[in-house]
Structure 1
Amino acid sequence: MKYILGVDLGTTAIKAAVFDETGKECGSKTVEYTLLTPQPGWAELEVQTYVDTFITASHAAMERAGVTADQIDSVGMSAQGETTICLDENNEPLRPAIVWMDIRAKEEAEYIEEVFGQEEIQKHTGQPGMDAIWPAGKLLWLKKNEPEVFSKTAKFVQLNGYFSYLLTGTMACEDSILCTTMYWDINTRKYWPEMMDFLQITEEQLPLIMKQGESVGQITEKGAKMFGLSTDTVVNIGALDQACGALGVGNVRPGTFSDSTGSNLSTVAIVDKLILDPSMQMPCFASAIPGKYMLHAFSSGGMVLKWFRDVFCELEKKIEAESDEAAFDQINREVQKVAPGCDGLIMIPHLQGSGPPDTDNNQRGVYFGITLAHKKAHFARAIMESIAMVLRRMIEAMEPLGVEVKQISGLGGGSKSDVWCQLKADATGVPFNIMSTTESSACLGAAILAGVASGIWASPEEAADMVVKADATYVPNADVKEVYDKLFEKTMKLQNGLKVFYEDSSFRE
């Protein structure tokens, strides 16, 4: 029996899961970490924290699966995009990693867009203009604000590239993550010379370009010693976490649509060709499957509810510590008691800016319509409804591009909440499916790519068809359609009306 270790390098945790050659999960482990936020809008993490967490999660997963390191045929990686690591000439980190959600480079992103123009950027990258989270802006910020670090950096690399180096000695990356570096061309699959010249970086400072799901090589003796793995094990470069998650819930063909509500809300619609949105709203990425693409939107998600729990739910956390009932389960129970529409309470959930289709790094969270009648449960439900409105907006923005959403496959922590899943079905008017592989979808997607490369499955599509099944379906409730139609209209009016305040710097001080 062959076993594959799928590792998901997430925003606030690393999850590792062991799968056998039938795609069955044999054991898994999630290990969390806390991001560093030294200034508003910043998000960092010590690079060694990623390494230590990878090792802890991987060994715990193998132990739970009853599998030893020499039984692992291959390791597949699902990695967050954009998180950037600066390495010196000895490939040692020069500073903490700048995490993808860090928006310190707003001015730099605006300057890059001013120089190149939205259309030129979209033509080369598939992205409708610049965003502060893209690595190109981060590099320009480093050049201006940390010139010593910039000048000493021998390699600029994302997480999967760093781990491929530590494990195999080869520093590599692949299409789905390179899409948003903004110095890689989605048409040629090569680095974009004009952007590199502008940033004053060279190809020698960047990782080797590979295709999604390509094998990097066997683990070196040094890598085996560091990670406690075998030199017979092959490392697969994998793909972007959201691409792997989509693959892991069977989103492999046009007509399928996946919603991942984890730290952020991310949606994926698979398309057969590169689509450049003329409205400059929706970005297009390489998917986890070479030759296929995905319209991929992302914004604030579960981190908003986590913020609410951490700041306002001390009682629920105390009960969780003293019993088996999680704070989120308590919140869900109270949310069910509140009527759809929250008695007029509306929330805008963009605590750290908003992503596509309404990209705006200056947006912030807002509660609107608060009255004396509103209780804590109303505020929690308003968060869930606000995320559902963002989901609906993402679907709306894809429709002019020929995407027809007939069903939604849910994954991520948000998919564990029955009330939230039903709410999303009601708010969008689309059936919402929870797949059998939801719990470890990103790990499974990475494992499928590694399994295809090692000959276990013929293709990602074949593997997904064999392994992924629907466990539950939430059908839209027609009785609340009017409530959510009105809420969506009000939410969009409120969000657009607040732009005058977002654009006024005095409101951001």
Structure 2
Amino acid sequence: MGKLLAGIDLGTTALKIAVFDTTGKMQGNATLEYQLITPKPYFVESDPAVYMDAIVKGFGKLAEQGVDLMDLAAISFSLQSETMFFVDEYGVPLRNSISWMDNRAVEQAEYLTAKYGDEVCYQHTGQISFAANWPVAKALWVKQNEPEVFSKTRKILLIEDFIIFQLTGRYVSDCAMLCSTLYWDITTKKYWQPMLDELGMTEENFPEIMEPGEVVGNVLPDMAKKLGINPHAKVCTGAMDNAIGAVGVGACHPGMFSESIGSTLAVCVPTRDICYDPNRQMPVHYYPIRDTYMMHTFTSGGICLRWFRDKFCKYEMTTAEMTGVDAYDLMTKQAEQTPPGADGLIFLPHLSGSLAPDVNPNATGVFMGITLVHGKGHFIRAVMESLGYLVRRNMEALSDMGIEVDEVRAFGGGSKSPAWNQIKADILQKTICVTNSKEAACLGAAILAGHAVGIFDSIEAACDSMIEVVARYEPNPANKEIYDRGFEIYKKMQNDCAELFDMISKR
């Protein structure tokens, strides 16, 4: 057996792939961006071909870096949740994939809510409502609006299922990915029959269910040759990116809170048992460790800053191309020169609806408090602060359940910014810990792969021995009053704009 482990992170807007040795040392990594397709408001899709194309190019870049891909023992995945594919009997996509960010299926979600009720949804799936972003509502939308596609559909797949089929020829999914589809029952770990009935489908139209971090099989010979990797390398199930990133920073024990700012913002808190929120604000998900669960929410995150960069920071992007300095670093410097609280400018970061604990598929982004004093730095800082407020809102909901946070571990692109980490520490009034995990989601996937093929005795033991905290950001008490007030305004904006969101969505 080889000695290297690959973690493939298939994110919303980019693929990251990294290879590690068995001590956790990264041997090489590559990043490739791809584009989303937004044909109309609330519709978000992708060309299915971009994902395998990025994987092929990613392994090619690793080979160029001198990584010995013939020494690869296993591959696992960190994946965007809910992005779904409709394929024919040969596994060929019949339409563009539909992104997790897509909110087209509002009518279908309302129908399911009226028929079954959100309490039934919560008890069976762990998700707090039949929201438009969940795959079952989108599948129903395709059935009703694209009958020619649906009639030819032989399998409905998530992104993990689609990629594993390309690599191994098997249709397989895992519990941690399926838990937010709403056609999977968290209490039985089987497909939820009422939702299959709604779609007019059977279990045969969906992948085989496995645990996260289990061996699926060898890479197909032709595919191994195409990727340039060891043909005996094992392909293993992974888990949703936010949960597996939590593994990658060692947040494997109850009371440990992980937050990630990538394209999405996500929070995860592992629990030993299914823990329902009596206020039905916090969903329950399946964690990448067998029979472990987590309180987990996610919504638009770093994509808000990317949107602002792409639309309003052409100067910074041009300067970055000329100097080699990252455009985000240039933006962050402007935010650092802006006072905490951005002189009263506050942003709601809902560029594609909002999810738990304040679910509203019609929510949009809002800047509030704009005056003549505000410049670009204020807007950048307001975007960064808004995600700190969103994390705090989740902590507030967890506290209402009796789940207190002992430690915060940050990962994702946002954790690489000392300024952003300090902003979050000040807003949360808690220490933000950053670990030595480079590419945490990829490392978490590699840990799952290593455990699957027997290199590690347990996931917890691997985390404890491979991961350490390398930076701590302590909250500045001087900023507490500013951010306490900002948080109250943020929550009031969320509530007071709800009617306006509905009005805007019906234009």
Which bracket does the TM-score occupy, shorter chain normalised? over 0.9
For 2:23, the aligned partner's letter is T
Name the counterpart of 1:179.
Answer: 179
Task: Specify whether residues 341 and 305 from structure 1 end up closer, same or farther in structure 2 by C-alpha distance, changes over 3 A only.
Answer: same
CA distance in 2, matches of 1:268, 1:65: 35
Name the counterpart of 2:299.
Answer: 299
Task: Specify whether residues 293 and 192 from structure 1 end up closer, same or farther in structure 2 by C-alpha distance, changes over 3 A only.
Answer: same
User: Is the contact made by 2:4 and 2:19 (CA closer than 8 Å) also made in structure 1?
Assistant: yes
Name the counterpart of 1:395.
Answer: 395
User: Is the contact made by 1:139 and 1:199 (CA closer than 8 Å) also made in structure 2?
Assistant: yes
Name the counterpart of 2:163.
Answer: 163
Name which of structure 1's ranges 386-395 and 216-225 shifts more when overlaid on structure 2: 216-225
User: Is the contact made by 2:225 and 2:231 (CA closer than 8 Å) also made in structure 1?
Assistant: no
* 1:23 is the counterpart of 2:24: yes
Aligned 1:65-464 pairs, distance under 5 A = 65-68=66-69, 70-437=70-437, 439-464=438-463
Q: Taking every aligned residue pair, what percent have the same amino acid on both sides? A: 43
CA distance in 2, matches of 1:471, 1:192: 43
User: Is the contact made by 1:86 and 1:155 (CA closer than 8 Å) also made in structure 2?
Assistant: yes
Name the counterpart of 2:13.
Answer: 12
CA distance in 2, matches of 1:209, 1:457: 23
User: Is the contact made by 1:17 and 1:58 (CA closer than 8 Å) also made in structure 2?
Assistant: no
Structure 2: runs of 5+ lacking an equivalent: none
CA distance in 1, matches of 2:220, 2:319: 47
Name the counterpart of 2:59.
Answer: 58
Number of residue-to-residue matches in the alignment: 506
* 1:498 is the counterpart of 2:497: yes
User: Is the contact made by 1:282 and 1:296 (CA closer than 8 Å) also made in structure 2?
Assistant: yes
CA deviation string 1:89-148 (max 9, x = no partner): 111111111111111111111211111111111111011111211110111000111000
Deviation, structure 1 residue 155: 0.6
Deviation, structure 1 residue 401: 2.1
* SS in structure 2 of the partner of residue 39 of structure 1: coil
TM-score normalised to structure 2 length: 0.98
Task: Specify whether residues 403 and 62 from structure 1 end up closer, same or farther in structure 2 by C-alpha distance, changes over 3 A only.
Answer: farther
For 1:76, the aligned partner's letter is S
For 1:366, the aligned partner's letter is V
Name the counterpart of 1:478.
Answer: 477
Structure 1: runs of 5+ lacking an equivalent: none
CA distance in 2, matches of 1:65, 1:115: 57
User: Is the contact made by 2:432 and 2:474 (CA closer than 8 Å) also made in structure 1?
Assistant: yes
* SS in structure 1 of the partner of residue 439 of structure 2: helix
Deviation, structure 1 residue 267: 0.5
For 1:479, the aligned partner's letter is A
Name the counterpart of 2:44.
Answer: 43
Task: Specify whether residues 360 and 65 from structure 1 end up closer, same or farther in structure 2 by C-alpha distance, changes over 3 A only.
Answer: farther
CA deviation string 1:18-62 (max 9, x = no partner): 111111111000111011111111111111111100111123124
CA distance in 2, matches of 1:14, 1:146: 29
CA deviation string 1:194-218 (max 9, x = no partner): 1111121111110000011111011
CA distance in 2, matches of 1:62, 1:287: 32
For 2:498, the aligned partner's letter is K
Task: Specify whether residues 233 and 412 from structure 1 end up closer, same or farther in structure 2 by C-alpha distance, changes over 3 A only.
Answer: same
CA distance in 1, matches of 2:120, 2:48: 34
C-alpha RMSD over aligned residues:
1.2
CA distance in 1, matches of 2:422, 2:371: 26
CA distance in 1, matches of 2:60, 2:106: 39
* SS in structure 1 of the partner of residue 238 of structure 2: strand
User: Is the contact made by 2:425 and 2:475 (CA closer than 8 Å) also made in structure 1?
Assistant: yes
CA distance in 1, matches of 2:157, 2:452: 23
Task: Specify whether residues 229 and 357 from structure 1 end up closer, same or farther in structure 2 by C-alpha distance, changes over 3 A only.
Answer: same
